[in-house]
Chain A
Amino acid sequence: MLKHTAQRRYRRLSDLVRPFSLVLFVIFLAACGGAPAAPANDSSASDSTTNAATVSEIPAGEPKLAEKQELVAGISRNLVNGPEDWLYAHTSLQVWEPLVAYDDQLRPQPGLAESWELSADGKVWTFKLREGVRFSNGDPLTVEDVIATIEHFRKLSGRPSIFLSGINFPEIYGEPTAIEKVDERTLRLAYAEPRPLLIYAISNHYSAVYSAKNFDENGNFKDLPIGTGRYRLVDWKRDQYAILERNENYWGELPALTRIELKIYPNENSRLSALKAGEIDALVELGAVSAAQARELRNDPNFVVSRHDSTCTTHIAFNGEAGRVFSDMRLRQAVSLGIDREALVRDLLYGYPTVAQSIMIHTNADFFNPSENASFKYDPNLAKQLVNEATQGQRVKAVLIFTPPGEGITAWPYPQMAAYFQALLQPIGIDLELKQLESAALTDARNNGEFDLVLGNYCWASGDPNYILGRITSSKSNQNVAQHGGYNNPEVDELLAKGLVEVDAKKRQEYYFRIQEIAAQELPIAPLYDQPTIIAYRPYVKGLSQRVAYAPTFETVYIEEH
């Protein structure tokens, strides 16, 4: 009998413990990584954008450099996509360099081409290659390599990819009549029509240069890619890691970091836990740290948090097909007017993003229209009035689809944003039904037209104004045809066509400014905010920053002794 009672007690005890496990698990997840970190010396955990130092600027003596200049960083997504990809490795890895780069204002900058020239009629581009550039295998860079890579792009045009959805060769390069070598250092691209925007269109990703030895007859990569970048890709595994080693043959100044290990954590919570637990030194690249996480980390002296502009933006896209509610422009305007972007950014995203000021991303200095007319207002009263006018007092029912917070550009709290929009639009007469879908299901729903509103994102691959403006506002674009956007304005189509061939920079800018003003009025999409890239790292990681052009500044990073 005594034994029996004892057993019962024991059983009850185990019953007591079991239910605590989930709570303990959560507390563990949230709190793990309270591991003591390196003492936070001079670096304050502020939101300052770190100053990038080059290797030569590393102060001698104090503070002491760590013996091993190696970095282990966490990223949110795959940055290597394998031999069948058009690009193999993302620009962030710095394995390859582009013919034309761009700066933080998306203006073309010399890359492997040190200069370029456009003929007066706008039909012939001539590029002068930098001298003394060698690939990571020691071969010198030749014009043939550049041509081989462009031909590789042409061959793989339309093949889907996780990088910019692949390359649509005619969209980026147009229809060159000749891609030819003039002399050992000179390349020429000739066109039948003027192609003045080529220099913008190809900057960065779309003018990546690989050694001609990379490609097999099918256009696939034979082995690990050979580029001219500061780092070589030595090993990688999808969804797990990518390992970079310094390219000792690099033509410019060698970076301090000799080895970089990038670990992939698609889940934002495991990403942060890894940083806190000391598994990694830094979280970098698009989608690294969420706004809510940054809010938590910025008060912690064991970490440095910084935010940087990116080329990506978040918006609401409409199902604007004839017969659907949002084919009525007034209702699209109502949605845009009914959403308080300032409050969204300030209160839900803790001030990290930039409120959308045009359909064009604000970092695009040459083509961003700063005028009020290209911008979006918050006016719930006007919104209500517009809904009333459009429906004669009826309430509008609409389905908003969105994904759970994901990786890369989708690392945003969409469910909470959706709930917020639902609450904002309800009083103006629009009842939202919220539908959370996994990203594949969301794509299906978009293609099948089973939505009214969708929370979407896109990134500008370059400063080419035609790139995203075309994709959003052209009546023939994928978004407006296949994805049921339904936007169709002949004036915009004409402006897009004129902009593409206009040689006069001033006139060209006017066309694109005009498109932004029309878009702010007619709303083919309702932009919400320009995404920042928020990164976090341990204070002993110095010189780490993040370019608008995606890439973390690995070349300026050095590790202090810790």
Chain B
Amino acid sequence: MSLHESLEQPFRPNFSRTIRLSWLNLTWLKRYRALLIPGLILGLIVFAGLFAPLVAPYDPNAIDIGNALSAPSWEHWLGTDQLGRDYFTRVLYGGQTTLFLAGFSTLVVIAIGLAVGLISGYVGGAVDTVISTCLTVLLALPNLLLTLAILGILGPSNQTLLIALIGAGWVGHARVFRASVLSLREQVYIEAAKALGFSPWRIMFRQLLPNLLPTVVVLATLDIGAFLLLISSLSFLGLGSQPPAADWGVMLSDARPYFTQVPMLVFAPGVLITLVVLTCNLLGDAIRDLVDLKR
């Protein structure tokens, strides 16, 4: 083992501690029990969304207007909506859209946040001053307002919704990551790496990034929940998916006039939004506890 390699060894993700498991020994179950139930529920919902075309009994846009607003039955497990479309099918397809939007925006937001945070935090100096000033300015704008403004200019659709969410969402993350990098780069092993003449890129990606991963995972799980709520709120206001497609927020909004007579139209997407956000938050919490070094 060369000096380089031995120096790099301990810098692998702190995850490694948690990944080195005795898989044959069932104690791991005890350790991960906090992940189990939310993980299962979320997994089920994501699975149903991913495989909506296979799981769903009907075409989501097939209209049977003579059979509109019917109550749950064997043919239609969650009843039908105001156009007679099978609600169970629409909930599945709606979940596909909603979860994709939330998942994708989370990924991109984290990626942009990481890139900007790493550069700003590690390079420091004038670059950091410029970037962090920009971040401060952008942070002064309320997130929802910024999102609405972007959507207002670009017009509503799924693509513009993504652009707006990402455009307004990465700023906070960049700041968090920058702060983490600022504290990490004072660590001895970074100094050692510098002393060994590693290139800045190598330090950023091989030393700093892995050590940021716990923060990333926790932020990401919490983010999915937050984005899902934001997407649902924006769709609820008519700025999300456009007809005939629907996500859960649109379905909630469309269901409002019928709420007193067909409560299922509000409950189905409402409960699912709640469940996904809840399980994401619980997962985030559990992962945070697992990877928390200070414990």
Binding site for B on A (CB under 8 A): 8, 11-12, 15-16, 18-23, 26-27, 29-31, 269, 290, 292-293, 295-296, 343-344, 347-348, 404, 413, 415-416, 418-420, 422-424, 434-438, 441
Contacts and interface: CB of A to CB of B under 8 A. Distances in A.
Given A15-B278, A20-B274, A434-B244, A419 B285 contact: no
B256 interface: yes
A404 B278 CA distance: 32
Interface string B48-65: 000000000000011101
B215 interface: no
Given A30-B256, A292-B257, A419 B62 contact: no
A12 B282 contact: yes
Interface stretch (B104-112, B134-142, B182-190, B229-237): B229-237
Contacts of A413: 82
B65 A347 contact: yes
A23 B271 contact: yes
Given A16-B281, A23-B271, A419-B61, 8 more contacts: A8-B289, A27-B259, A295-B261, A415-B242, A415-B254, A419-B83, A434-B244, A437-B155
B252 interface: yes
Contacts of B271: 23
B277 interface: yes
B156 interface: yes
B273 interface: yes
B37 to A, nearest CB: 13
Contacts of B62: 423
B278 A348 contact: no
Contacts of B197: none
Nearest to B270: A23
B66 interface: yes
Contacts of B82: 292, 348, 413, 416
B223 to A, nearest CB: 13
B290 to A, nearest CB: 13
B68 interface: yes
A19 B225 contact: yes
Interface of B: 61-63, 65-66, 68, 82-84, 155-156, 225, 229, 232-233, 236, 238, 242-244, 252, 254, 256-261, 266, 270-271, 273-274, 276-278, 281-282, 285, 289
A419 B281 contact: no
Given A19-B225, A434-B243, A8 B285 contact: yes
Contacts of B83: 348, 416, 419-420, 423
A30 B259 contact: yes
A450 to B, nearest CB: 13
Nearest to B62: A423
Nearest to B295: A4
A189 B254 CA distance: 53
Most buried by A among B63, B155, B260: B63
B285 A12 contact: yes
B77 to A, nearest CB: 20
9 contacts: A18-B281, A23-B273, A26-B259, A296-B260, A343-B66, A418-B243, A419-B244, A420-B63, A438-B155
A273 to B, nearest CB: 10
B232 A22 contact: yes
Most buried by B among A23, A424, A435: A23
Contacts of A23: 252, 266, 270-271, 273-274
Nearest to A14: B281
Contacts of A27: 259, 266, 270
A295 B155 CA distance: 32
A441 B266 contact: no
A410 B89 CA distance: 30
Given A20-B274, A23-B271, A419 B229 contact: no
B235 to A, nearest CB: 11
A6 to B, nearest CB: 14
A19 B229 contact: yes
For the complex of A and B, list the 10 residue pairs with the smallest distance between their C-beta atoms, beginning with the closest: A19-B277, A292-B257, A423-B63, A15-B281, A30-B259, A23-B270, A419-B244, A415-B243, A347-B65, A19-B274
A212 to B, nearest CB: 44
A344 B254 CA distance: 17
Contact of A419 (B63, B156, B270): B63
Nearest to A34: B260
Contacts of B242: 415, 434-436
B291 to A, nearest CB: 14
Contacts of A296: 257-258, 260-261
Nearest to B277: A19
A348 B257 CA distance: 12
A344 B242 CA distance: 21
Contact of A422 (B61, B229, B252): B61
